[in-house]
Structures are given as structure tokens and as C-alpha cells.
Amino acid sequence: MSSPSSVLAKTFLFFFALFGIFANLASAVPVAEVEKRDVYDPHVLYPHAGTVWYKGQRHNVTWDTSDHPVNITNYLGRIMLRKGLIATPLILEENFDILLGRIEVTVPWVTPGDDYSLVLYGDSGNFSPMFTIKE
Ligand SMILES: *[C@@H]1O[C@H](CO)[C@@H](O)[C@H](O)[C@H]1NC(C)=O
Ligand SMILES: *[C@@H]1O[C@H](CO)[C@@H](O)[C@H](O)[C@H]1NC(C)=O
């Protein structure tokens, strides 16, 4: 019960609970990601909880670049869409500089729902809070 990785996981979950996305991560973060704490997984700022997007719109996804490590092993970012706890195969944008802090995406043509989130990949993935996509 108190293996090093479960202690690590608890510490990690506590950290993210402070940012209000505990529910999202509690059931979703694989242990593999928990153990890769030295990599860069930028924190998504927008979209956030309460955001409503309409399909076909263009929006700037933004993320915090202030805490990136000096040397990043992967400078190329990728943004994918997730519905509920399920990853979708939809790539909204990729091969952009992860240090830009923002990238324009087009809201994809998907089933309307209030449980969408984005996964921003640098070295590792970071989930946005859930937000809404409407027709
Ligand atoms: C995204 O941000 C850039 C720079 O601030 C701005 O020029 C552009 O119009 C924005 N795009 C949208 C869709 O808001
Ligand atoms: C970052 O990489 C440079 C060049 O490879 C190296 O000189 C430097 O020590 C590295 N810095 C850190 C903090 O790893």
C-alpha cells in the first residue's frame, strides 16, 4: 500500500488538487506519467472550466511556459482532444514550439458535450480542465 510509487502518486495528486483538477486526474493519470516528474508537462491555462467552444471556431489554446526546465528533451508540442476520460484520435495541432505558450486551433466537428478536455504534450501530457463544445 505504501510503495514509493504510491507515495509519489499521492504527493502528485495533492499537488494537482490545489489547482482544482483533482477529479480529472484521480482516475486518469497513469503511474508512468507520475514517475516522469523531471520532464516538461506545461500547465494548460485556456480552455479552462466554464469555457464554451462552438465547432468551427478558432481559439488560442494557452499554457504556462514560466516553469519550463532549462533543457527540454522535446520542443515540439501536440494538442489532442479527450472526451470524458477517453482519449480521442483528434490532433488539434502539432509540431509547434512548446515554448510559444499559445497556439491557434480550430474547434473540431464533434458530438456536443460538456466533458471535453485537451491534452497538451511536451515531453509528457498535461490535461486541461473539462470544458464544453457545442454545435
Ligand atoms: C491568437 O493570438 C494571437 C496573438 O495574440 C492573435 O493575433 C490572434 O488573433 C488570436 N487568435 C484568435 C482566434 O483569437
Ligand atoms: C543544458 O544543456 C547545455 C548544453 O547541452 C548544458 O551545457 C547545460 O549544462 C544544460 N543545463 C542543465 C541545467 O541541464
Ligand nearest to the CA of 69: 2
The reply to whether 27 and 64 lie within a common domain is no
The pLDDT value recorded for residue 67 is 75
The reply to whether 91 and 121 lie within a common domain is yes
Chain centroid, CA 45 distance in Å: 9
The finding on whether 86 has its CB within 6 A of some atom of ligand 2 is: no
The reply to whether 11 and 61 lie within a common domain is no
The finding on whether 38 has its CB within 6 A of some atom of ligand 2 is: no
The reply to whether 73 and 10 lie within a common domain is no
Ligand nearest to the CA of 59: 1
The pLDDT value recorded for residue 6 is 57
Q: Half-sphere exposure of 25 toward its Cβ, with a 13 Å CA cutoff?
A: 22
Tell me whether residue 39 is in a domain.
no
Which domain covers residue 117, as residue numbers? Answer: 44-134
Closest to 117 in 3D by CA, of 96, 95, 132, 103 = 132
The reply to whether 17 and 80 lie within a common domain is no
Domain count for the chain, please give it.
2
The reply to whether 63 and 22 lie within a common domain is no
The reply to whether 85 and 49 lie within a common domain is yes
Tell me whether residue 72 is in a domain.
yes
How many CB atoms lie under 10 A from the CB of residue 115? 14
Closest to 106 in 3D by CA, of 118, 124, 121, 122 = 118
The reply to whether 54 and 105 lie within a common domain is yes
The reply to whether 55 and 120 lie within a common domain is yes
pLDDT tens digits for range 12-46: 444 444 444 444 444 444 444 444 445 667 789 99
Tell me whether residue 12 is in a domain.
yes
The pLDDT value recorded for residue 72 is 73
The reply to whether 17 and 73 lie within a common domain is no
What whole-number distance in Å separates Cα of residue 15 and Cα of residue 7?
A: 12
- Low-confidence residues in the chain, pLDDT < 70: 1-40, 124-125
